Structure 1
């Protein structure tokens, strides 16, 4: 409940409580607050028990924490591996893929194997459909040739 309260904040709360309620009334206030919290917990536990009884025996393993969307999605993805998510996660190395793409964009060789699966062979990325690169379309990730002195770079509408 109070996982993110530090020592300084706790000391500040205690000092404020002493200043507001005074040292004489503070024990009584603490007892009243703890009794109130205890009643709320008992009420919620009774409500959960009533809901479980009303749902019937087919919902014995029902947990109220599963109603939280994050918990539900995590449980469905990690426990029910019908889609092969664990296999995909183990075979996909995001850092390696990002490094290969960055190397391809910067025009560097990404490794000693002559290229990566994303870049083909060498450092030039090719999206052409023909294997020899003669697909007719321009390559958007290819590094442009050097510009002549005084020549303006091409204007890219999609980049601005």
Structure 2
């Protein structure tokens, strides 16, 4: 309850209590505060007991779904999906694992290896296209070599 209150703060409260209240009334005030705390604890415990007796079964019905939600919140997203949708069978999601997909060779890679020519005799060269650099110069008489 007082985990954040250190011994220094407690000592300061006792000294302030001695100065403000006085040494003759301080013991009686401490007893009254202790009795009030005890009465509050007893009242809270009695209220809990009454609620458990009156609504215990209804609380149990509410606790079941809440405990399932809490259980799913502690799981990783992948584990929660496999548990909820696939009855803990994660084999379905393993097909979409990017690490496994990248580790295996793809069909396109294997197909390119099979269709690659053994020698370069069958390779046809690409026809030359007209390069605009070879055509007339439309720069207006200014080139980058003039600037640099």
TM-score, scaled to structure 2: 0.43
Q: Which has the higher contact order (CA 8 A, sep 6+)?
A: 1
Bigger share in helix: 2
Query: What is the TM-score with the length of structure 1 in the denominator?
Result: 0.40
